[in-house]
Amino acid sequence: MIGGTRTLKDSRMISQMTIAVLVGSLRKDSFNRRAARALASVAPGELRLEEIEIGQLPLYNEDLDTGSEIPPAWLEFRKQVKRHDGVLFVTPEYNRSVPGVLKNAIDVGSRPYGQSVWNGKPAAVMSVSPGAIGGFGANHHLRQSLVFLNMPVLQQPEAYVGNAAKLFDAKGGFASEPTREFFTKFMGAFALWIEQNRLPLP
């Protein structure tokens, strides 16, 4: 987790912002999990990144979303997301779309109707893949859902990261300076995006 403040060129002070990180892969050593940690390592000081696990969430079933039957994991997940200023999605591509585990997390957070924890939260998407197109399909399919959820999503720089096996060294660090520079640029743009679009936390 990273904290602190810094001064922009216009001398405005940016306050610390907490960012929920959702990784669309459950594999312990997945390329996307490595990428999420690498993004945290180069995030500006005003961003505090916190990964929220999604693999423990039961599949969404509206019949369970009432009274005492609501799964505790759903309630805890909603509570965690709600207290963050923004959301960073880092995901692989499965069958030209997002993995089911990530879609389920989105569904859980969007309910009950009218109480979505995603509403108004600034977001960014990075898709990481061993293939050359860098999960382009998943990246854009996810954005369709985020538009409906009323989440302003960072447009530039786009982050379709291919050839994932060559991104990091054996210790999880960047394997090349250009990769580090791109990740740093992406997180800097996201910090400014959140500051411009975030809503007051409840």
Categorize the per-residue pLDDT at 67 as very low, low, confident or very high, splitting at 50, 70 and 90. Answer: confident
Residue 155 has a pLDDT of 96
Give the percent of the chain with pLDDT over 90: 81
pLDDT at 201: 65
* Whether pLDDT at 126 is above 90: yes
DSSP 8-state class, residue 184 = H
Q: Is the confidence at residue 11, as pLDDT, over 50?
A: no
Q: What is the pLDDT of residue 9?
A: 39
By C-alpha distance, which of 39, 34, 5, 15 is closest to 190? 39
User: Can you give the pLDDT at residue 14?
Assistant: 53
Coil, helix or strand at residue 36:
helix
User: 131-167: per-residue pLDDT in tens?
Assistant: 888 899 999 999 999 999 999 999 999 999 999 999 9
Query: Quick one: pLDDT band at residue 96, thresholds 50, 70, 90?
Result: very high
Please determine, for residue 116, whether its predicted confidence score (pLDDT) is greater than 90.
yes
Residue 202's pLDDT is 64
pLDDT tens-digit series, residues 12-46: 445 789 999 999 999 988 999 999 999 999 999 99
Residue 12 gets which letter from DSSP? Answer: P
Give the model's pLDDT for residue 109: 98
Average pLDDT over residues 68-76: 95
Mean pLDDT of 91-108: 97
- Split at pLDDT 50, 70, 90, the class of 65 is very high
- Number of H-type helices and E-type strands within the chain: 5, 7
pLDDT number for residue 200:
73
Asked if 89 and 49 touch (Cβ cutoff 8 Å), the reply is: no
> Is the Cβ–Cβ distance between 130 and 31 less than 8 Å?
yes
E-only strand ranges, the chain: 6-7, 13-14, 17-23, 47-51, 86-91, 123-128, 160-161
CATH number of 15-197: 3.40.50.360
Does pTM top 0.85 for this prediction?
A: yes
Four-residue CA torsion sign, 181, 40, 147, 145: positive
